[in-house]
Amino acid sequence: MDFLTSSEKIERIFEKYFQKTIILSIKDSEIKKGKFLLLKNCVIGNNYFYEFTIERAKKLDVVRMPYPFNLDEYEEENLLYMDYRLTTLFKHNKKSLEEVSAWVKKIDTKNTHKFFDSIVEIRFE
């Protein structure tokens, strides 16, 4: 049996889609669209990200996405879901979920990362 780290799993999934059109969306709102050229791991301070290099209108954009708590692939539909929801992070610890959810309600989440507590849909064409 082949055991992969989360990072290796994500890299294997994405390598199938190089040079295809990538569309990143949150809640039916398109974030980026372009030709998928490169995926790399990136560490900034204590934060770990994936950097996607996307070609749009003859210019290159870099999109940084934190490691997801879960990743679901629907290969036959060329579709991925990167899950950043707190319910996924704390799915085995209801008490921690309740504590964090209560804390989140008290803060201003307008300035949090756009992926916070959401699912990012990634489609390839």
Which strands make up the sheet holding 21-26, listed edge to edge? 59-66, 47-56, 29-44, 21-26, 119-124, 79-83, 70-74
Domain range for 43: 6-83
In this prediction, residue 56 carries a pLDDT of: 93
- Inside any domain, residue 67: yes
Residue 113: what pLDDT?
Answer: 66
In a domain, 92, yes or no: no
* Domain-embedded: residue 124: no
Does residue 25 form part of some domain? Answer: yes
Q: Write down the pLDDT at residue 111.
A: 58
Tally of domains in the chain: 1
Q: What is the pLDDT along the chain (125 residues), one digit of tens a residue?
A: 466 677 788 888 899 999 999 999 998 899 999 999 999 988 888 888 889 999 998 899 999 988 888 889 999 999 999 998 888 888 888 888 778 777 776 666 665 667 778 899 999 99
Q: What is the pLDDT of residue 92?
A: 85
Is position 49 within any domain? yes
Nearest to 52 by CA among 41, 63, 67: 63
What is the predicted pLDDT for the residue at 1? Answer: 46
Q: What angle do CA 45, 47, 53 make, to 5 degrees?
A: 105
Structural domain contains residue 97 = no
65 contacts 54 by C-beta, under 8 angstroms: no
- The answer to whether residue 111 sits within a structural domain is no
